[in-house]
């Protein structure tokens, strides 16, 4: 379904009971983000929020994509899997043998549909240019400040348009923009992104790079900007396919080389000059749940700001999951399953990206297994597939598993996984936001092959008994006083894995602890131990997994152990440990800064608490940040090592 504009989408949300209008004044500086964080973490993702009283001329729309239902409404489908099914049917029709004239004629309507999805540049101005600011000033827009240690206000839902100066190929991406002044922002594109490649081409030519930023319009624009498309596929073709109607574009006023959607609410035009000095951008509370630390990024000079009459400023926040971006990620997981299956990994049946893995950190793939070693083939194909190259932990299962049922999945994977032979380590490109890597953007990966093994894959030297009935959690904690908590609930449901919270106090501490704990025989039968910070509640499984996945470089931080079994003579028992604790120079020879987790400021929490009854949001929802206050190390975005207690 094609929305006429963002207002049409807002009206649809309201009619569906998916939107709350907030008429009480709420400050874009921290308060909007705090309210949105509370609502987005309620069951089902809460409601979309329209803040109508912001102290600016424009209302702010938040959490518009923040549930499965709203994501489906944005994409015009009943179920997210519907899009993948349509792509798969289209692929089969176009690739099937054409044996006669009737077969060929059947394809013609689809070819016509292709043409109807291609974006079109129309003459004249669009609704997005109904009002032209006499003097462009981005500080006139209600740009939100999300978290207390952010470098400033950030544009968080920008649809950014650039072109290759040689081929004139368009790219539409989404990169945060820190506001530094009325006509200056940062342009936070990572080195792996297409717009960064365009920038490098302009740098070679010594030319200024035209850029345009659209905000609002049909909600599929923002989704398409986040989609992991190949470089040569126009994001507006995907948008046209999703909305079943071509995107109409208009030329910018001061940057006519760039076209933007005619129905956008705001357009910010400008340029990036390769000859400029970079600007120190950040910190920013990012989707990992940690602050991404400041670094040097290009300057974006604003030359014009236009908007439609009565526009709405769209924004989002990211932080400790779950947040609105989880549903954008879920849409990508479902939509791009079909292309991955059809072009790269035909044996893939399904995939899942748990929210605790914040997209790249943890991916589960289910395959139809037909021969030994097939998991390794899938592993290599997945890590070579576009943005899947950033994946840190890949878990493989086969047809016997139910991968969306995490309890059942874990039982299946652990029952078929030998930690000595079925965990594979590699290294390669990583997300620039992954703070656990010893080097920026380069680190370790692992694959856990939890598929049912064929004879050729088995090693009969190993056997795994059930966890000893003598296992005593309190006894272990008395024997190893640095252990502050143990989650022993998983072995009780036939998942041989422990999560242990440790107060690390010396070099090689976790490595030595794991060796001693395994050698004691107390945990014989356990296949994996995940070590987390002593501040983490090991029995809060979602939080413990989120912290663990973020803080782990699998290749560097794994600790193998194997010894003759005490319970099964002649057999070997193996247990793999993983150090998911904070890394420091003193204890780990870690040279990079380590970021803090993201929580709201006490004064912001108190301010929102005081006005909650006026907001019309129903029963009081306490700040999610309260749960994480005691997991912080000091108050700054960068962890102060003096605060490690």
Helix or strand holding residue 215 (H, E): strand 209-215
Q: List the one residue out of 1, 3, 50 whose CA is nearest residue 218.
A: 3
Distances from the Cα of 215 to the Cα of 5, 97, 222, 310, 450, angstroms: 11, 43, 8, 13, 43
Q: Give CA–CA dist 622/39, Å, rounded.
A: 10
Distances from the Cα of 563 to the Cα of 102, 420, 460, 472, 519, angstroms: 67, 11, 14, 21, 8
Q: What are phi and psi of 595, to 5 degrees?
A: -85, 155
- Helices 68-75, 325-335: axis angle to 10 degrees equals 60
Q: Give CA–CA dist 424/112, Å, rounded.
A: 47
Query: Residue 296: is the preceding peptide bond cis (ω within 30°)?
Result: no
**Is 616 strand, coil or helix?**
coil
Please calculate the CA angle 197-156-444 and round it to the nearest 5 degrees.
55
45: left (phi over 0), alpha (psi -120 to 50) or beta: left
Query: Residue 540: is the preceding peptide bond cis (ω within 30°)?
Result: no
Q: Give CA–CA dist 265/258, Å, rounded.
A: 17
* Residue 463 tokens, joined: 């056997």
Q: Give CA–CA dist 474/200, Å, rounded.
A: 58
* Residue 330 tokens, joined: 């879920």
Q: Are 177 and 279 in contact (CB under 8 A)?
A: no
Catalytic residue numbers?
Answer: 286
Query: Which DSSP string corresponds to 493-515?
Result: TT--EEEEEE---STTHHHHHHH
Q: List the one residue out of 369, 371, 330 whose CA is nearest residue 353.
A: 330
Q: Give CA–CA dist 582/634, Å, rounded.
A: 14
CA 50, chain centre distance (Å): 24
Q: List the one residue out of 247, 312, 283, 292 whose CA is nearest residue 49.
A: 312
* Residue 497 tokens, joined: 């894995």
**Is 6 strand, coil or helix?**
helix
Q: Give CA–CA dist 587/583, Å, rounded.
A: 7
Other C-beta atoms within 10 Å of 335: how many?
A: 23
Helix or strand holding residue 380 (H, E): helix 374-383
DSSP state of 481: T
Please calculate the CA angle 341-347-350 and round it to the nearest 5 degrees.
65
Q: Give CA–CA dist 491/480, Å, rounded.
A: 20
Which residues are registered as beta bridge partners of 177?
Answer: 155
Please calculate the CA angle 443-358-346 and round it to the nearest 5 degrees.
80
């Amino acid at each position: 379904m094609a929305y006429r504009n963002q207002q049409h989408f807002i009206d649809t949300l309201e009619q569906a009971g998916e939107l709350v209008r907030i008429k009480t004044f709420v400050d874009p500086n921290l308060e909007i983000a705090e309210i949105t964080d509370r609502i987005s973490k309620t069951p089902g993702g809460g409601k979309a929020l329209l803040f109508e009283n912001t102290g600016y001329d424009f209302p702010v729309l938040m959490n518009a994509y923040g549930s499965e239902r709203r994501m489906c409404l944005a994409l015009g489908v009943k179920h997210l899997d519907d899009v993948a099914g349509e792509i798969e049917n289209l692929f089969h029709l176009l690739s099937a043998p054409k044996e006669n004239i009737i077969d060929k004629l059947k394809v013609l309507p689809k070819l016509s549909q292709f043409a109807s999805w291609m974006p079109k540049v129309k003459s004249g101005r669009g609704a997005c240019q109904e009002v032209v600011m006499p003097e462009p000033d981005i500080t006139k827009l209600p740009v939100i400040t999300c978290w207390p240690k952010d470098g400033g206000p950030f544009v968080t839902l920008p649809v950014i348009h650039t072109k290759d100066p040689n081929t004139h190929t368009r790219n539409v991406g989404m990169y945060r923009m820190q506001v530094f002044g009325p006509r200056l922002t940062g342009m936070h594109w990572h080195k792996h992104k297409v717009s960064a490649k365009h920038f490098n081409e302009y740098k070679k030519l010594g030319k200024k790079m035209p850029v345009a930023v659209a905000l609002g319009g049909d909600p599929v624009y923002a989704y398409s900007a986040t989609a992991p498309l190949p470089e040569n596929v126009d994001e507006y073709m995907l948008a046209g396919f999703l909305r079943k109607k071509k995107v109409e574009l208009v030329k910018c006023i001061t940057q006519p080389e760039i076209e933007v959607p005619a129905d956008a609410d705001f357009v910010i035009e400008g340029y990036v000059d390769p000859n400029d000095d970079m600007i120190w951008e950040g910190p920013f509370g990012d989707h990992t749940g940690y602050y991404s630390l400041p670094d040097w990024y290009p300057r974006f000079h604003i030359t014009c700001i236009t908007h439609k009459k009565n526009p709405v400023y769209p924004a989002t926040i990211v932080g400790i999951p779950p947040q609105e971006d989880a549903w954008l990620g879920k849409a990508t997981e479902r939509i791009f399953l079909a292309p991955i299956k059809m072009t790269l990994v035909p044996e893939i049946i399904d995939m899942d990206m748990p929210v605790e893995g914040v997209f790249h950190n943890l991916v589960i793939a289910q395959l139809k297994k037909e021969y030994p070693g097939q998991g390794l083939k899938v592993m290599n194909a997945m890590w070579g597939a576009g943005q899947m190259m950033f994946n840190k932990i890949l878990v493989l299962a086969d047809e016997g598993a139910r991968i969306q049922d995490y309890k059942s999945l874990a039982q299946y994977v652990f029952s078929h996984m030998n930690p000595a032979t079925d965990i594979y380590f590699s290294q390669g490109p990583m997300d620039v936001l992954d703070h656990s890597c010893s080097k920026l953007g380069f680190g370790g990966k692992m694959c856990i092959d939890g598929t049912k093994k064929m004879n050729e894959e088995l090693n009969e030297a190993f056997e795994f008994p059930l966890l000893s009935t003598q296992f005593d959690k309190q006894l272990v904690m008395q024997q190893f006083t640095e252990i502050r908590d143990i989650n022993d609930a998983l072995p009780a449901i036939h998942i041989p894995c422990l999560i242990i919270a440790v107060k690390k106090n010396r070099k090689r501490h976790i490595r030595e602890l794991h060796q001693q704990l395994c050698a004691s025989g107390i945990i014989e039968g356990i296949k994996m131990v995940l070590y987390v910070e002593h501040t983490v509640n090991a029995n809060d499984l979602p939080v413990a997994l989120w912290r663990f996945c973020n803080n782990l470089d699998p290749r560097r931080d794994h600790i193998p152990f194997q010894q003759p079994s005490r319970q099964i003579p002649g057999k070997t028992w193996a247990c793999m440990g993983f150090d998911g604790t904070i890394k420091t120079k003193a204890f780990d020879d870690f040279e990079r800064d380590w970021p803090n987790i993201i929580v709201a400021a006490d004064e912001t929490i108190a301010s929102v608490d005081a006005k909650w009854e006026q907001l019309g949001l129903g029963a009081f929802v306490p700040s999610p940040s309260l749960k994480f206050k005691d997991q912080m190390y000091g108050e700054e975005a960068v962890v102060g090592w003096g605060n490690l207690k």
